[in-house]
Amino acid sequence: MKIIKAIVLAVVLFSIPLNLRAEEEQAPPGMEIIKIGNVNYIVPEGTKVRKQEGGIIKLEGRLEYVARRFSEMEEKIAQIEKENETLKEKLKNIEESISKEKKTDKTDKDG
């Protein structure tokens, strides 16, 4: 009976570290875990995965990834610059409206 208890205890104790390790598996900052089949790949965030004929899986290469991300960043910067110009125009209009209101209030007080 003691042998059975010892075996059960050993099985339970040896399985705990395996479960903890599986739960603790996290990707480093800037990386993500992609699960393909039974295999986990740690890749940079946003890496494209391409499936080809015959079940071959091709991950985007680092040069492709960098070029694509750089292009996306350029587009995003252009979009931010455009939004910035729009906000500058709106701010200018608001400043002009406030200036007109101040002049109107000043003339009303004087009159």
Instruction: Dump strand ranges (E) for 1-111.
Output: 31-36, 39-44, 49-51, 57-59
Q: For residue 49, what pLDDT is reported?
A: 82
CA distance 48 to 36: 12
Indicate the range of 7-16, 22-31, 86-95 predicted with least confidence.
7-16
User: In the beta sheet, which residues pair with residue 58?
Assistant: 50
Q: Classify 1 as helix, strand or coil.
A: coil
Half-sphere exposure (Cβ direction) of 57: Cα atoms closer than 13 Å: 12
- pLDDT of 19-42, one tens digit each? 444 445 788 888 888 887 787 888
pTM of the model: 0.53
Q: For residue 91, what pLDDT is reported?
A: 96
- pLDDT of 68-88, one tens digit each? 999 999 999 999 999 999 999
